Amino acid sequence: MGTVLGLNGNSAVAHAMRQVNPHVVAAYPITPQTDCVERFAEFVADGRVDTEFVTVESEHSAMSACVGAAAGGGRVMTATSANGLALMWEIVYIAASMRLPIVMMVANRALSGNINIHCDHSDTMGARDSGWIQLFSENAQEAYDNIIMAIKIAEDMSVRLPVMVTQDGFIISHALERMELLDDEEVQKFIGPYKERYPMLDLKNPVTYGPLDLFDYYFEHKWSQIDAVEHCLPIIQKGSDEFGELSGRNYELLESYKLDDAEFGVIALGSTCGTAKEAVDRMREAGKKVGLLKVRCFRPFPTEHIIKALSPLKGVAVLDRSSTFGGFGGPVFNEVRSALYDAPERPLVIDFLYGLGGRDIFMEDIEVAFQRIEGVVTKGRIDTHVDFLGLRE
């Protein structure tokens, strides 16, 4: 079973989209997502998929077309990055509100300005409150796997929510990796046929999507959406477990790396986790009790899992690849620290903003983060909650 290929993250996701063979893809090109959609357009041109590919004139139209197609009753996918996601903004929220199981790959890129095409997480972190499920990927294999799992999770009848699958722009999207693809038939069998729910094209059962919803019902509808997002963690894990049985690649909401007997941990998302694992290995060889917690599922935030994983530690350094500009630390720090507030045993937590606009992060940077949190624990006091890694001051 399966095929081993050398692919970059964009091509890997394009292949996942080919194997999913969605009814509709509407997308607009933006670096670093572009060659994902280009590859997929080739599959369309070569007749390898049945997809109706809509070449829209902007990302606002891309997501609007996706919403229309999904409300119509189709399996729908798209992809974007940074400013493209920002231009989609209004419709991103509407897709989630209407409970449309659209799957979108986001190749993470810094938001302007100034103009920068390289990786940070400011684009998807900005969309963290939009009601989408967010799965972060460490490498191209995970991006491919997450896309296929995302279809299954999004379309589960108890979920019916859109899913954003991220991969770090250029670092993953453009780097060639050894990849294992599933067979096309295996993917189709895993995701199953698309199940419609209130399709607008069912003319015998007419429905109205997105009606005026004022002070009499809007609040109740939002509660229903909040409730749906809060309760989908078990389905995300179930979809991941079923994928593990199929592929042999097992995924959790969070991945603990050498945390079992650790005293100090770092938390990261995306490709930095690969670097952090190497740094952990190197420090372990030097006798340091350190580990990594990788957050794969950021929305919904797996609060209980975070508490369980981090409570036994003495100190935690969060690595945030975006800023909240005036908030108390980065978005990951906000969530992690808040989750730990009521934990009976909790570590000291500090935050590092790093890698904005694609600034490289090295093993030495991660070692600095570990040294800093160890120093904080030794001192028993946090003097600086939020600091920077790899910044020239």
Partner 1 sequence: MSKQKGAKDLVPGGMITEAGNAREYETGDWRTEKPDVDHDKCIHCFFCWAYCPDSSIIVDPEEGKMKGFDFKHCKGCGICARICPKNAITMVSER
Residues that bind partner 1 (CB under 8 A): 97-100, 160, 198, 205-211, 213, 216-217, 219-221, 223-225, 227-228
Nearer to partner 1, 217 or 362 (CB): 217
Closest approach, Cβ 69 to partner 1, in A, equals: 15
Nearer to partner 1, 176 or 226 (CB): 226
Closest approach, Cβ 356 to partner 1, in A, equals: 36
**Contact (Cβ atoms closer than 8 angstroms) between residue 378 and residue 372:** no
What φ, ψ does residue 230 adopt, rounded to 5°?
Answer: -65, -25
Residue 358's contacts (CB-CB under 8 Å, 6 or more residues apart) are 110, 116, 117, 118, 119, 120, 169, 170, 171
Closest approach, Cβ 191 to partner 1, in A, equals: 21
Closest approach, Cβ 210 to partner 1, in A, equals: 8
Nearer to partner 1, 223 or 328 (CB): 223
Nearer to partner 1, 42 or 90 (CB): 90
Nearer to partner 1, 221 or 308 (CB): 221
For residue 79, give the H/E element and its range: strand 76-80
Nearer to partner 1, 224 or 311 (CB): 224
Residues belonging to the chain: 393
3-state secondary structure 281-309: HHHHHCCCCEEEEEECEEECCCHHHHHHH
Q: How far apart are CA 75 and CA 103, in angstroms?
A: 9
Closest approach, Cβ 180 to partner 1, in A, equals: 36
Closest approach, Cβ 233 to partner 1, in A, equals: 17
Nearer to partner 1, 225 or 303 (CB): 225
**Contact (Cβ atoms closer than 8 angstroms) between residue 265 and residue 290:** yes
CA-to-CA separations, 228 to 131, 157, 234, in angstroms, rounded: 9, 11, 12
Q: How far apart are CA 20 and CA 189, in angstroms?
A: 10
Nearer to partner 1, 99 or 121 (CB): 99
The whole-angstrom distance between residue 134's C-alpha and the CA centroid of its chain comes to 4
Give the residue from 15, 306, 343 showing the smallest Cα distance to 183. 15
Closest approach, Cβ 216 to partner 1, in A, equals: 6
Q: How far apart are CA 8 and CA 141, in angstroms?
A: 9
